[in-house]
Chain A
Amino acid sequence: MQIKDHLREEQAFLSRAIIAALLVILVLGALVVRLAQLQVVEHAHYTTLSKDNRVKLVPLPPTRGLVYDRNGILLALNRPAYSLELVPERVEGDIDATLERLGEYIEIGEDDLERFHKLKRRKRRFDSVPVRVNLDLEEAAHFAVVSHLFPGVDIKAQLLRHYPFEEATAHVLGYVGRISRQDLETIEHSQYAGTSHIGKIGLEKTYESMLHGSVGVQQVEVNSVGRVVRVLEETPPVPGQDLHLHLDVRLQQIALDALGDNNGAVVALDPKTGGVLVLASKPGYNPNLFVEGISSKAYRALQGNRDNPLYDRALRGQYPPGSTVKPFIGLAGLETGTMRYDTSVYCPGFFQLPGHEHKYRDWKKGGHGLMDLDTAITQSCDVYYYKLAYEMGIDAMSEFLQQFGFGEKTGIDLSGESSGILPSREWKRKTKRQPWYPGETVISGIGQGYFLTTPIQLAAATAALANNGHLMSPRIVAFSETRPEYARTPLSSNDRPIPIQSQADWDDVHNALLHVVQGARGTARRIQTDFYSIAGKTGTAQVFSVAQEEEYIEEEVAKKHRDHALFVAYAPAEDPQIAIAVVVENGGSGSATAAPVARKVLDAYLLPRLYGEVAEPAVPRENPS
């Protein structure tokens, strides 16, 4: 091994550095020679080319795919719209003065000015900036007469996204909005050349890549003022794919109407396919406002609204499931062998842990008396489930419930859903760093305590109960269609089978659910119908806890502290075609407010299917608010 000779190495490095410096100078010199060749020797040639530069590339934006409901009704379309646009560079004189003069002919509001200035800052001065959008024909004609007074100001026609059902589909479809700086960081720029809008939320965002299509390009010859003289070459754009949904917008409207003045959510699924028939959240908002940029005042009003209309309750709202979880716990009791179908439990109106004073009360003050699984579901006895949960233990219970998707996202093809909470020893240790207490098992048995579910989760679990153990990820989109070939690509749901110990256990639970509606003492007997059979379960979720010795009296509690009303169901019971979950916020009891909502949706879906009645086609409302 050589010994390090510092001086010699320094010398060697110096010579290499000098060679490097010389090389750098040589290469830069070559570069200058090249530039001089272009800029001095061939200058005249390139000046001519520059003056005659007539060939431009014009991007051709694709038209966005349309969205249809299951009956072929258009939910999202592209509508020609006129907008008044201004190119800052071409305006003679002061821009503000021009805007003020424009205001004498066409109404320009504060919101318009605000948007104009915001967009102008982001654009280059030879880009066109919208001043007013959605001009009607009369306004456009009015401006055309005086347009010669306003150089640099033009009427532009473009296709704008429009959602005819407004609020009814707002949370499902989401909306498109102008491409923002954040959007630019995640998209291929050339694909969006010439496109002004992009899916921001909801289906428009999840399916952006399919709806967008791909950009085309045109090589055009322009004259000296930049007008296109002829097209030299063209690659046409490929339009976005159309999406056909499982959603039935008529049902969606009926569900929202049925909720009345209450806030809440309704989710209905086809238990055979996992297709989403209804995904309604109330209140909603008008997505069309966002397409052309909502004014900050209107946006603040939406955000500040105490009913939170921007919040999608169906996917993100987390509610204690209350008694709607009882059929799942009952099934868990049977399948784990904790209880038999005919095991009797005496309900004195309360339950106590061995050696503890605390009374876990039943909703019925005097108690239900002797209960078995069927009567405990039918009459929704709490004490039975306190005892069952306590004997089964939290570990077996949460392991079983997890198979129905509680505590995790359903995997629906929309982003932003919440996962809810399935209480377990593990969950509590991780999030609260505390041990599990037996009392918490007891109240988990009636869907209270830490237990939280989303309406979509409840619907998916109910569908899995109805179809004998196939937990499917709900799907909004049934298939996509490529234009102009009209080739259809089905988008199927994934299916997670739940192992069945004994079919008899499942049948017992199915029967008990049928008795909830059809039985003489069922909690939901009020929604019974002669036309088909409904299996369901009511639920009431506490928002506000009542002290141990007090009583909950609905009339005395402020509306916002009133219990949430829940109802889950499937029908027809012998061959389920629809599974539904209803949450009515602060609705009081499940049987009084939530079950009738479900009945209306079931009627609307099943009667035409079972009896061939012709349903009125859905139409957008004039002013639904």
Chain B
Amino acid sequence: MSLSLPDLGDLTPTDPNRRQGVLARIHLDLPLLLGLALICAFGSVILYSASGENAAQVERQLVRFGLAFVVLVGVAQIRPEQLYRWSPWLYVLGTLMLIGVLAFGDVGKGAQRWLDLGVIRFQPSEMVKLAVPMMIAWYLADKALPPASSRLAFAAVLIVLPVLLIAKQPDLGTSLLVASAGVFVLFLAGISWRLMGGLLALGAAAAPVLWLLMRDYQKQRVLTFLDPAKDPLGAGYHIIQSKIAIGSGGIWGKGWLNGTQSQLDFLPERHTDFIFAVLSEEFGLVGVVTLLLLYLFVILRGLYIATRAQDTFGRLLAGSLTLVFFVYLFVNAGMVSGLLPVVGVPLPLVSYGGTSLVTLMAGFGMLMSIHTHRKLLPR
């Protein structure tokens, strides 16, 4: 046991570290943590059913949850000023690695997403999901808001560059998430509604450029995304089966492990992208609304943390990360319920798989860091 006194410099009575006890001292936010843990727990229950009572698969997912929480706790220890300083470097590094992936990446499952660094295989697009909102927040934070139009134009370039690189892999789901992360920062920075509309129009105009960048087989893959009936294995079949699963679930659901759609093998990809349909079938509208309320709680808490942040960088970053989490949820649920076209975006924290899980939790770690590392500001 060390006898040296801790630095009491900023432990004033109004300091949140003191008020909130142990969790705050290790820079965690209890409500947010609870919300995330509940979603993960509910998710594991659904996964057990969706995987056909495969205990090994659930165990692996639990291990991933554990790892992701470790990452969250680790990131929460990094001071926001540190994140601020790292932002441009992370952005440059991430963009270079995206170029590296296109040049020497591993082709895994038909798309070039992986970079083999010898020891680990790494997906730079995951890192960019965090680096882009950090970079835009960093760029806008030191000058007055709302940003002047010249600065806005440069910010737009900063967003578009990595988005195009990811789209070229091709990974449309991720490029959509990265683009929205950047645009949310601009929106939260207070740019006018007219400009907002202009940006969206610009995004729509960029689509043909993107199209020209793609090779033939990539175009084919996109066409399949947009028109599922073209897929011989039937993405259209996915949507029909998924709607039947949701609709037949009714208000109360068919009961855990009793969904005929999922258990009798009609529903494809039920433990990954289509797990939302399993939930709807077995737990009904009640179950779905419960999960949506948990998500809503996490999102509102995230936005609250953003408004309480002490500087512009923290505000913009926290707000954008929270809203991207919402985009995940909406794109996945919208796809499964037939509102949106089939885009490969997982249901956050619930779908089986580890890559996006770690990124999401690292993002929430940043939120907690922003909320719990407070300094006294002259007002």
Contact = CB atoms under 8 A, between A and B. Distances in A.
Interface string B167-210: 00000000000000000100110100000000000000000000
B247 A47 contact: yes
A40 B250 CA distance: 6
A123 B108 CA distance: 23
B229 interface: no
Contact of A188 (B109, B307, B334): B109
Interface of B: 51-56, 108-110, 143-146, 184, 187-188, 190, 232-234, 237, 241, 243-251, 260-261, 263-266, 268, 280, 284-285, 288-289, 292, 295-296, 299-300, 303, 306-307, 312, 315-316, 319, 323, 326, 330, 333-334, 337, 339
B248 A50 contact: yes
Interface stretch (A17-25, A275-283, A430-438): A17-25
Contacts of B144: 1-5, 9
A56 B266 contact: yes
A10 B339 CA distance: 36
A25 B247 contact: no
Contacts of A38: 243, 246-247, 280, 337
B323 A35 contact: no
Given A17-B319, A34-B339, A186 B108 contact: yes
A235 interface: yes
Nearest to B289: A32
Given A27-B330, A46-B243, A46-B247, 17 more contacts: A1-B143, A12-B146, A13-B188, A13-B312, A20-B319, A28-B292, A31-B292, A31-B330, A38-B247, A43-B248, A46-B248, A49-B247, A49-B248, A124-B52, A125-B53, A217-B232, A226-B264
Q: Is the interface of B mostly helix, strand, loop or mixed?
A: helix
Contacts, number: 163
Contacts of A35: 246, 280, 285, 288-289, 337
A39 interface: yes
Contacts of B244: 46, 49-50, 53
Given A9-B145, A17-B188, A46 B246 contact: yes
A57 B241 CA distance: 11
Q: Is the interface of A mostly helix, strand, loop or mixed?
A: helix
A12 B280 contact: no
Contacts of B245: 50
A21 B300 contact: yes
Interface in A240-293: none
Q: Which 7 A-B pairs have the closest CB atoms?
A: A46-B247, A124-B52, A50-B248, A2-B144, A38-B247, A46-B248, A12-B190
Contacts of B246: 35, 38-39, 46
Nearest to A14: B307
A126 B323 CA distance: 39
B348 to A, nearest CB: 14
A25 to B, nearest CB: 7
A122 B58 CA distance: 11
A501 interface: no
A159 interface: no
10 contacts: A1-B144, A31-B339, A39-B249, A43-B248, A47-B248, A49-B244, A121-B55, A186-B109, A217-B233, A219-B234
Contacts of B146: 12
Contact of A20 (B110, B187, B241, B339): B187
A57 B237 contact: yes
